[in-house]
Amino acid sequence: MFSLEGLKNTIHYTLSASLGTTSTLLVEMLIVGICVISLFAVLGLVLVFMERKVSAYMQIRLGPNRVGFQGSLQTVADTLKLVVKEGLVPNGADKFLFNFAPFLVMIVAMLIMAPIAFTKGLQMWDLNIGVLYVTAVSSISVIGILMAGWASNNKYSLLGAMRSGAQIVSYELSAGLAILTIVIFTESLQISKIVESQQTGWWLFKAHIPAVIAFIIFIIAVTAETNRAPFDLAEAESELTAGFHTEYSGMRFALFFLAEYVNIFIVCAIGSTLFLGGWMPFHIGHWSAFNHVMDFIPGIVWFFGKIFFLIFVIMWFRWTFPRLRIDQLLNLEWKYLLPISMFNLLLATVVAIMGWHF
């Protein structure tokens, strides 16, 4: 099977031949950091362009089509505009928190990147509580949003941040329970083991009904967690101008904007790891000929294909559904998603104990 392990080992041996153990580690960390940052930059450009094109096609429009081929350089032009813009700090704002908030949101996005397995052997940190780590760290981003809302000295920002807090805290529950459903089947929290366990088929198919229910709940919950329409109450363009980032401009705004898209990427990466097999190619049971053909496609292509499919689904939600009111939003979580996911957890446990899955 195609893997990047060879490349990784080559870099490691080349570095350790000329440097000491500590400096090898430092240089490797630097390389990984640069890779992550450039991945983020590319993701920001690609996902914003994709969002605009998908929304245009769904609304029978053309979308950006002026800058570059079919408008493909539109997001580059937008980024240039944001870079040269003045970054204002409003009067009476808490300057430290105001400047720190966008960086905190980005740092959280980078931290969640750590346990994600891109392909066989390409994983920054394969810790044994990977899924727990992701759910725990992703909750910190709400602090960044609250910080931005509070420090802006603006009622719109504060209202948006409060709503965002209520929303994220609520939807973490059902997202966590949906993740737990899969953990029951894999019997491990380690990302690499979760991927390995889907060698014979993805959990979405292997664990049938509970996994499908968990998958739907997970997609709904992460849409809410990333503050995207139809759950975009934190931004609420029609009511709160731009919610928690009303007062942000220039590069600080760009960081929030980038963090939103990076977060979508990350939650879709988690979703595809848990339900769609991560980098594992599409395998059906013991059909070795079919499985062998599927193995020719590299794992990284599978992984990014799955992620972009899930991102497309989330964009599809955004450009189809009307927005929810705050009470409807909390009703949906506490009266529908949470009871259903608790019941689903029981169902999954029964299925796992009785061995009714494939």
Partner 1 sequence: MFIVDYIKTVFGGVKSLLVGMNRTGYYFFHHKEIITQQYPDVKQVLPERFRGEVVMIHDEKNEHRCTGCTACELACPNATIKIVTKFDITPEGKKKKALDTFVYHLELCTMCNLCIEACPTGAIKMDQTFEHSVYDRSLLIKILNKPGSKLMEGVE
* Beta-ladder partners of 119: 122
62 near partner 1, rule: CB under 8 A: yes
Longest dimension (CA), the chain: 67
| Interface with partner 1, residue 336, by CB under 8 A | yes
Which one of 125, 321, 343, 356 is in contact with partner 1 (CB under 8 A)?
A: 321
The first and second tokens of residue 265, run together, are: 């990427």
Q: How far apart are CA 297 and CA 310, in angstroms?
A: 19
Segment lying near partner 1 (by CB under 8 A), choices 53-61, 89-97, 157-165, 271-279: 53-61
Residue type, 53: K
Q: What's at 1, amino acid-wise?
A: M
Nearer to partner 1, 69 or 296 (CB): 69
The binder of partner 1 chosen from 103, 316, 343, 358 (CB under 8 A): 316
Does 83 bind partner 1 (CB under 8 A)? Our answer is no
Tell me the closest approach of the beta carbon of residue 84 to partner 1, in angstroms. 21
Options 61, 81, 95, 155; binder of partner 1; rule CB under 8 A: 61
**Which 3 state secondary structure label does DSSP give 122?**
strand
Interface of this chain with partner 1, residues 139 to 178, rule: CB under 8 A? none
Among 59, 91, 238, 288, binds partner 1 (CB under 8 A): 59
- Interacting residue with partner 1 among 7, 58, 284, 342 (CB under 8 A): 58
Among positions 339-358, residues that touch partner 1 (CB under 8 A) are 340
**54 counts as binding partner 1 under rule CB under 8 A:** yes
Contact 181, 337 (CB under 8 A): no
Q: Looking at beta carbons only, is 316 or 356 nearer to partner 1?
A: 316
Three-state DSSP class for residue 244: helix
If one asks whether residue 289 binds partner 1 (CB under 8 A), the answer comes out as: no
The reply on whether position 320 binds partner 1 by CB under 8 A is yes
Going 8 to 276 to 290 to 294, the CA torsion angle's sign is negative
Where does this chain touch partner 1 (CB under 8 A) — which range of 115-123, 153-161, 269-277, 315-323?
Answer: 315-323
Q: Is 116 helix (H, G, I), strand (E, B) or coil?
A: coil
Q: Which residues, in sequence order, are bridge partners of residue 122?
A: 119
Which helix (H) or strand (E) segment is 118 a member of? Answer: strand 117-119
* 8 Å CB contact between 275 and 211: yes
Reduce the DSSP state of residue 117 to 3 states and report it: strand
Q: Nearest CA to 149 among 135, 136, 166, 134?
A: 166
CB of 214 to partner 1, least distance (A): 15
Rounded Cα distance, 294 and 147, in Å: 47
Minimum distance, C-beta of residue 58 to partner 1, in the bound complex (Å): 4
> In the bound complex, what is the minimum distance in angstroms from residue 62's beta carbon to partner 1?
6
Number of residues that bind partner 1 (CB under 8 A): 14
* Contacting residue, 5, 37, 41, 57, with partner 1 by CB under 8 A: 57
Report whether 91 contacts 153 (CB < 8 A). yes
> Can you name the residues that pair with 123 across neighbouring β-strands?
117
Q: Is 309 among the residues that bind partner 1 (CB under 8 A)?
A: no
CA dist 205 and 351 (Å) reads 14
Site for partner 1 in 185-224 (CB under 8 A): none
Of the candidate residues 17, 60, 84, 289, the single one contacting partner 1 (CB under 8 A) = 60
| Residue numbers at the binding site for partner 1 (CB under 8 A) | 54, 57-62, 316-317, 319-321, 336, 340
